[in-house]
Amino acid sequence: MSRPRTAAADRRSLPPSTNRGAVLTAPSPEDDLLFGVHWLAATVPVETEIDLDTVLAYIRGELHGADWSIRDRGVSGYTVTYETLFGLRVHANEDRPEMGIHLIADGDCCDAIGIECLRRIYVGLQMRATRIDLAVDNCDFSPADLRDEWHRDNVRTSCKPARNPMPGREGVRSCSWYSSPSGDTFNMGSRKATAFARCYNERGFTRFELELKGNRATKVADLVLAEPDSAAETALSIVRDFVDFVDAAASSNRSRCPLLPFWERFVAGACRARVRLDPRPEPSITRTVDWVEGQVARSLALYEAYMEKVFGKSREQVRRRLRKMGLSRMQPRHDALLRIAIASLRPLRASAGRQS
């Protein structure tokens, strides 16, 4: 898919030499797009029955015998961290094996070990991704180009306008712009969402980066890392699933609008992918009860004890206060959920009454 570089391309400022990525079709006579994974966070699920020693030994073999350093602290509930000189980190909690074993390869680590090594580790350990960043370097557009087209609404994306927009930005989809002497950055969407993109040029070249989390990251990592020969084309298809820059004036139907010329060169003929996610679970009172008992009960007990000791409040006063706060934030969907739950219990109560 690549072609020989020209002399002009060799003279221009390029990213640091790395085995990180694959070469894409050149967007112009002088530049090649370079694709790579720029962040990977993934878990070895407990059901794989792969233990910590096996994980460390396997990764050590893939990194040609790189030694591990151990730190007695972790993140997100993990209690111990193992780290290599490349910056790859493995987190574990032997007291809670159900959490699995978690791996994080940040941007510098991904640059150092390369996408092929990441693929072997991910596939070999039967991992499940929780975050993956797809990066494309040497774009022939600038962050300001994307910003301007975004503000003109020449985009086809699932991003919505901000809920509480600043004056004058009521119709603008969620985004942010940062500029400094080192370069510019344009962010698209919300960082809290499962898909978020950024475009920046502070390294001397323009990079488009798509950050995916949660179930979406799992689906995309399986697609990109399972087939290394087509990883670059797949990544561009997934970028198009998040955003396309189009000529919105060409048609009232946004799906029929043609791509803007710079974006058409960038995607290089890649079709738009459709990342199918698992259907969202139906709301139920059981899920709410399980969540409160599993995730909130400890915090509630701590809160009650704190209010009792520090402010002299009785536990019943604290509970009344919490109940009042909760009721003030109830929405119609919560009322409907409660009615459905109560209605489903009536036949059971009537049957129990007849039996007694």
Domain spans, the chain: 7-267, 285-355
pLDDT computed for residue 33 by the predictor: 83
d(CA 146, CA 187) in angstroms, rounded, equals 10
Determine how β-strand 183-188 pairs with β-strand 195-200: antiparallel
- Give 35-86 pLDDT, tens digit per residue: 999 999 999 998 989 999 999 999 999 998 888 999 877 788 899 999 998 8
Tell me the Cα Rg of the chain: 25
What average pLDDT does the segment 303-313 reach? 85
pLDDT computed for residue 18 by the predictor: 37
Rounded-to-5 percentages of helix, strand, coil across the chain = 45, 20, 35
Q: How many other C-beta atoms are found inside a 10 Å radius of the C-beta of residue 164?
A: 4
Q: Give 257's contacts (C-beta < 8 A, 6+ positions apart).
A: 156, 246, 247, 248, 250, 251
Q: Which two tokens stand for residue 271?
A: 């079709």
pLDDT computed for residue 355 by the predictor: 62
Residue 348's alpha-carbon distances to 277, 296, 336, 337, 353, in angstroms, are: 35, 29, 20, 18, 9
Q: Which two tokens stand for residue 142?
A: 């600038």
Q: Looking at the DSSP assignment, which residues form a beta bridge with residue 184?
A: 179
Residue 246: DSSP 8-state: B
- pTM (2 decimals)? 0.71
Q: Select from 220, 146, 241 the least CA-distant residue to 187.
A: 146
- Give 110-143 pLDDT, tens digit per residue: 989 988 999 999 999 999 999 999 999 999 999 9
Q: Considering only 164-178, 191-205, 305-319, 339-353, which range has the smallest mean pLDDT?
A: 339-353
Instruction: Answer yes or no: is pLDDT of 241 > 50.
Output: yes
Cα-to-chain-centroid distance, residue 252: 31
Residue 255: DSSP 8-state: G
d(CA 344, CA 63) in angstroms, rounded, equals 57
| Cα–Cα–Cα angle for 128, 131, 134, rounded to 5 degrees | 115
What average pLDDT does the segment 215-224 reach? 91
Q: What are the DSSP E strand ranges found in the chain?
A: 22-23, 34-44, 69-71, 80-83, 89-92, 101-105, 128-137, 155-157, 175-180, 183-188, 195-200, 207-213, 243-245
- Give 273-289 pLDDT, tens digit per residue: 777 655 555 667 777 78
pLDDT computed for residue 177 by the predictor: 94
Q: State the chain's mean pLDDT as an integer.
A: 82
